[in-house]
Chain A
Amino acid sequence: MRQQRFEQENRPLWEDLRGWLDERATLGMEEVPSAYRRLCHHLSVARERHYSPALVERLQQLALRLHQRIYGERGEGVPAALRFLWGGLPRQVRAEWRLVAVSSLLFFGPWIAAFLIVRAQPNLVHLMLSPEEAAKYVQMYDPKTPVAGATGATRDVMMFGFYILNNIGIDFQTFASGLLAGVGPLFFLPFNGLHGGTVMAHLTNQGLTATFYGFISGHSSFELMGAVLSGAGGLRMGFALMHPGRRSRLAALREGARQGSRLLFGAVALTFLAACFEGFWSANTLVPWKAKVGVGILFWILLSSWFVLAGRRGE
């Protein structure tokens, strides 16, 4: 068949398909698949018969656009994301409990060790913190320190923004550097743990219990578990690269990144929640500090029971 006749006979079909792509549907929904298959056939025929390159190119572009439209996934959307956070994340954490445990150990182990050591030997604080840093922390939690410049709600928003930028940024960095055979989390988690434990012990030594524990307890569960989960997500990637199992290294890495990014998504949600509490609740001075510590402990209990219990139906 000559190209001219081929074009003449089939042009209406191509126009219909193009119209469907451009939302000028002349084609019913149920007619699209068969029309698309016929277009695919036309493309093969046009290539096989060496019709002019412009025609082949035009058909192949139409086919590519349709391929993308037909096989593209519909975005999962906000409801699916919330559903994942509610049930899917705890399931994911339980499925990856070994990595989460390793990540917790890497984080809380140095934290506790640093805390105990600095409590026993207060001078050792200078192994981790320079004298200026140590003084800065003390000054930050000194009850007599006036809050510089701003007061009340506007300062809360400022700190909230800062926590988002800084803390979620750290989560992202920890996760991404996990690709380097897990080196990122292996470094960042213990380092941040040591730092946290040292500061905590130092401020306890200085007798700033009320302001410090009052401030950190409310958001501590979300923030620390967020750090642990982002580390676990990064380790997932690094581990897949080092130990691909029966897959090719690349396939294992892709799957590892997919699974790890689910943990990261959870970590980001937790860190975001932590920033909300840290910005708008923790700095609050109206509530007595013991009550705030109580609320913090309650959050730890709620969070752990959620990890253990949620999403079990339909598992």
Chain B
Amino acid sequence: MQPVDTVRTIETPEGIELHLRPAGPVARFWAFFVDQAVVWMGLMFAGIALAFLGPLGLGLWFILVFLAQWLYPVFFEVLGGGRTLGKRWLNLRVLRSDGRPIGWGPSLIRNLLRVVDGLPGAYTVGLVSILLTRDFQRIGDIVAGTLVVHEEAGVQAPHLPAAEPLAPTRALTLEEQSAILAFAERSPGLTVARSEELADVLGPLTGSRGAGGVKAVLGMARYLWGGR
């Protein structure tokens, strides 16, 4: 059974499934906000500096405004691996909906269609579209075939806490084994009280509670991971 989740699964030509986690409206709003702040601050300072050049500076500033308004996200998305500064800040990334990196064409389309997503003001169309689509796509994303996903933080090599391997007292299903391993991998990050509370759920299996229970579950994880 599939749990209810926002994960989008893509199937590769090798026949494996890869998971992407589309980003919702709040994260995307903050990324947008950071981008806008950076762009307008930049334009302001550039404007002050260019003001000393008179009409020449004004002309250059117009060009900067044009680039900032229309093409800033395109350049950053294509050359920066799908990430504008705001998306970098929030660990978001734009990808094609099949998981590949975004290119010039789709990036241009998705960013120009901000005109439509921005209607009738305050990104209302875009927000409604994000809320209505399964993968949180605004109109520009739908047309360009792109996704904004959460960039997974690099997972460290699994490190199981040391424990005496202990064979489970009864046969476990694969899901149960997987759950025990997951507990062991996460336990270094849990408080002692929480670890014990979770291990107590397995009381009937380990036959002990509290610290003894945790030790028994970690032992089983060790056993499942590496045998004797």
A binds B: yes
Binding site for B on A (CB under 8 A): 2-5, 36-37, 40, 43-44, 49-55, 57-58, 60-61, 63-64, 67-68, 71-73, 75-76, 149-150, 153-162, 164-165, 168-169, 172-173, 175-177, 179-180, 237, 250, 253-254, 257-258, 261, 264-265
Residues in B neighbouring A156, C-beta threshold 8 A: 59
Q: Let me know if B155 and A57 touch, CB within 8 A.
A: yes
Residues in B neighbouring A157, C-beta threshold 8 A: 55-56, 59-60
Residues in B neighbouring A172, C-beta threshold 8 A: 70, 112, 115
In the bound complex, CA of A129 to CA of B20 (Å): 54
The smallest beta-carbon distance between A141 and chain B, in angstroms, is 20
Least CB separation from A68: chain B residue: B101
In the bound complex, CA of A36 to CA of B18 (Å): 14
B44-56 near A? 1/0 per residue, CB < 8 Å? 0000000001111
Q: Let me know if B105 and A261 touch, CB within 8 A.
A: yes
Residues in A neighbouring B58, C-beta threshold 8 A: 158, 161
Binding site for A on B (CB under 8 A): 12-16, 18-20, 53-56, 58-63, 65-66, 69-70, 78, 95, 99-101, 103-105, 108-109, 112-116, 139, 142-145, 152, 154-158, 174-175, 177-178, 181-182, 184-185, 224-227
Q: Let me know if B116 and A50 touch, CB within 8 A.
A: no
- A contact face: mostly helix, strand, loop, or mixed: helix
The smallest beta-carbon distance between B29 and chain A, in angstroms, is 21
In the bound complex, CA of A159 to CA of B58 (Å): 9
Q: Let me know if A257 and B59 touch, CB within 8 A.
A: no
Residues in A neighbouring B55, C-beta threshold 8 A: 149-150, 154-155, 157-158
Pick the residue among B54, B108, B181 that contacts A261 (CB under 8 A): B108
Q: Let me know if A61 and B155 touch, CB within 8 A.
A: yes
Given A67-B18, A179-B143, does the pair A50, B175 have CB atoms closer than 8 Å? Answer: yes
Residues in B neighbouring A55, C-beta threshold 8 A: 158
The smallest beta-carbon distance between A166 and chain B, in angstroms, is 8
Q: List 8 A-B contacts (CB under 8 A).
A: A52-B182, A54-B182, A60-B19, A71-B13, A157-B60, A165-B66, A168-B70, A237-B143
Residues in B neighbouring A162, C-beta threshold 8 A: 59, 62
Given A40-B14, A60-B18, does the pair A72, B100 have CB atoms closer than 8 Å? Answer: yes
Residue with the highest number of chain A CB atoms closer than 10 Å, among B54, B60, B225: B225
Least CB separation from B113: chain A residue: A176
Q: Let me know if A177 and B116 touch, CB within 8 A.
A: yes
Least CB separation from B223: chain A residue: A2
Q: Let me know if A258 and B225 touch, CB within 8 A.
A: no
Residues in B neighbouring A49, C-beta threshold 8 A: 174
Pick the residue among A52, A61, A73, A154 that contacts B225 (CB under 8 A): A52
Residues in B neighbouring A73, C-beta threshold 8 A: 100-101, 103
Other A-B pairs, 7, CB within 8 Å; known A2-B225, A157-B56, A157-B60: A36-B14, A44-B15, A52-B178, A72-B101, A73-B103, A157-B55, A161-B58
The smallest beta-carbon distance between B24 and chain A, in angstroms, is 20
Least CB separation from B144: chain A residue: A257
Q: Let me know if B185 and A53 touch, CB within 8 A.
A: yes
Residues in B neighbouring A160, C-beta threshold 8 A: 59, 63
Least CB separation from B103: chain A residue: A73
The smallest beta-carbon distance between A32 and chain B, in angstroms, is 13
Q: Let me know if B185 and A40 touch, CB within 8 A.
A: no
The smallest beta-carbon distance between A282 and chain B, in angstroms, is 15
Residues in A neighbouring B61, C-beta threshold 8 A: 161
